[in-house]
Amino acid sequence: MTTTLGSAVCDPAGVSISVALEDLQPLIEGRGREAYLVTVRGTRPHVVQVAVAFRGERLVVAPGRRTAANIAERPEVTLLWPVHEGDPHHNLLVDGTAAMSDDGEWLEVIPTAAVLHRAGGRRRRLPDASA
């Protein structure tokens, strides 16, 4: 199955397919509002499920206290939409810079890069655990 994205046709056998930021809104709308937001606390990742909406060119989510504290220290975030029935071969990853909205209610993410990444990555044989 191939996926059409803007003017590009995505081959499921490919590993990563860059997504132009102008193609992002319809792609996200096709995948749904639910995504995973990845922030960093110290040296550890912090992952939460969020609902995502668009506000102009920005993505908006309602953050919890930990997420808000994390982006105050490290504003770089990643949003992940896992594979879905419309594209069972690729996850959508959107990197961005996050900040709290002026009213302090919303986390606004300015996308900086996006990619459709092949689910499963490279296939390698796992080491034998019994050895």
pLDDT at 16: 85
Question: Please, is 109 exposed, middle or buried when counting C-beta atoms within 10 Å of its C-beta (0-12, 13-18, 19+)?
Answer: buried
Task: List the pLDDT tens digit at each of the 131 positions of the chain.
Answer: 344 454 444 454 567 899 999 999 999 999 999 999 999 999 999 999 999 999 999 999 999 999 999 999 999 999 999 998 888 889 999 999 999 999 989 999 999 999 999 887 666 666 776 65
pLDDT at 61: 97
Cβ 81 vs Cβ 119: under 8 Å:
no
Count of residues for the chain?
131
Q: Which CATH architecture has domain 7-118?
A: Roll (2.30)
pLDDT at 86: 87
What are all long-range contacts of 46-52, with beta carbons under 8 Å and residues at least 24 apart?
46/70, 50/79, 52/28, 52/79
Q: Three-state DSSP class for 79?
A: strand
